[in-house]
A and B are shown apart, each in its own frame.
Chain A
């Protein structure tokens, strides 16, 4: 249960954010402001907004959990990002700014035809609508864990809060709120990092913690081996990640919408390049926080399963005896592990090689027994409820924060999570509403005037919120949320990026060529997902290359008439 002081910090921080959003919202009274903030944002605002849109509550909660479970290897996912920023600045950004478009898909009608624009917009709407469900689910998870609320109801409440702010504020409010939110989130993260480091026993410093983490394989940030089935390695990150980030920042309206709020090409470019410069170090820092939590838990009792709701169900269910036995063995093995690690550290300091070796053997044995006990606990969990989610990655960091950080800081960290959730969901819903209005409603046979379009924008925001809330009910079964968002995006990004790249690379390709090619690319990606063990980052490359190649072949066979 949250302590009163933390509740006050949380309420005050959220109230400030909502008040700030409402204050900014007062100026947004037309559709141009609602869609692209009147193209008035300077580059620092664009940079913060772009980074905040990508760094949602999922980033804040699930990435440290990812660091705890998989170490730094997830960092490789971002290696293609700086290259993608440079390519975007040189190609799509000046094009978008020159054409003065409101959505990325407007460009496709000018280059190809209406049906290609509709296809890309439809792929975006489906993919981003589903992803918005996950970004809404993440903070709801926080509330349900802390307050014991029903998670479905919590999703609905948070959705209502977000939709209220965005309907009032539009794109401008989103951009300004992002700047404030990003400051809060990075401040809270830095504070958490320092406090976790100070919690480490035996006067351990950062270097000692990294040595302990390295001993458990958590410090592998770069794996140069080439394995297509491996989710994170250098090549998947550089090549697959490049295509994913290129598609996300260049063709996903939730990011293109942020880039278009800039007053000029210069401001858009500087915002993106700033992101390219600092994204990898920032993600390293967030993952390292998770690694530090892992090290801290090596020396003190850790729960056998981090999701308290599922644990409570198993402890009270028909397999309670098996659960209790597993939990008891886990606690004993973990206590032994902590003792062995402390002995090892002391032996190392005393230069006692034999003592160090003995401690290392004892630690390995305790670790094996702990893993065995956790396996039995998970078996009891699924025996109690076959539908139970056995992935507790998303709960790890939150649990640590609640149980270890001092009063006040817990409230601040929770406020950061809520702020991140609200603002990333806002950006997504704003993009979904923009695409619905600009790429669908404005092209309807009957003309809708500006007040009508503004009303449609607000209505579309409401519709997509309901859609996201409905999908959020399923998000809990998707494992690590930060991975789920990217896997979902990778199902569609390749074909969408392929459509845009065909526009640049295949001058002879027409609308029908690229439309057919995109369907082939998308079918191939879906086949990879369904029937191959290929890691999701490669889907982006396959979908993109196949779309461009098939469009080029079709254009070669039957060139489009010149318009």
Chain B
């Protein structure tokens, strides 16, 4: 296992495929925007059925 771990550590990583939407920043923004939308919807639901 240790040999394998050492080999892992020394093998140069293969180039990764690009993230969906072209950049990680856009994906992060999408997740945060979804949270904001969730909060708005939940606030509306809370008021609607209070």
- In the assembled complex, A58 has its CB within 8 A of some CB on chain B: no
> Is A521 located at the chain interface by the 8 A CB criterion?
no
Task: For chain B, residues 1 to 44, give those with C-beta under 8 angstroms from any C-beta of chain A.
Answer: 1-2, 4-5, 8-9, 13-14, 16-17, 19-20, 24, 27-28, 30-32, 34-35, 38-39, 42-43
Closest-CB distance, B34 to chain A (whole angstroms) = 5
Residues on B with C-beta less than 8 A from A83 are: 32, 35
Contact mask A395-435 → B, CB, 8 Å, 1/0? 00000000000000000000000000000000000000000
Please list the residues of chain B having a beta carbon within 8 angstroms of any beta carbon in chain A. Answer: 1-2, 4-5, 8-9, 13-14, 16-17, 19-20, 24, 27-28, 30-32, 34-35, 38-39, 42-43, 45-46, 48-50
Tell me which of A275-283, A299-307, A314-322 binds B: A275-283
Q: Is the interface of A mostly helix, strand, loop or mixed?
A: helix
Task: Give the nearest-CB partner of A207 in chain B.
Answer: B49
What residue in chain B is nearest A221 (Cβ atoms)?
Answer: B42
Q: A32-B1, A82-B34 are in contact. Are A214 and B16 (CB under 8 A)?
A: no
From known contacts A32-B5, A83-B32, A219-B46, infer whether A89 and B16 are also in contact, taking CB-CB under 8 Å.
Answer: no
With beta carbons under 8 angstroms apart, the residue of B24, B27, B50 that contacts A214 is B50
Interface contact B1-A30, CB-CB below 8 Å:
yes
Contacts of A32 in B (CB 8 A): 1, 4-5
**B1 lies within 8 A of A222 (CB):** no
Q: Tell me if A458 counts as interface (CB < 8 A to partner B).
A: no
How many Å from the CB of A9 to the closest CB on chain B? Answer: 35
Say yes or no for A213: interface residue by CB 8 A criterion: yes
Q: Is the CB of B16 within 8 A of A85?
A: no
Contact with B along A95-139 (1 / 0, CB 8 A): 000011010000000000000000000000000000000000000
**CB <8 Å contact, B50 and A220:** yes
Other-chain residue from A210, A264, A450, A453 in contact with B49 (beta carbon distance below 8 A): A210
CB within 8 Å for A222 and B19 given contacts A32-B5, A100-B9, A264-B13: no
Q: Which residues of B contact A281 (CB under 8 A)?
A: 38
Minimum distance in angstroms from A96 CB to a CB of chain B: 12
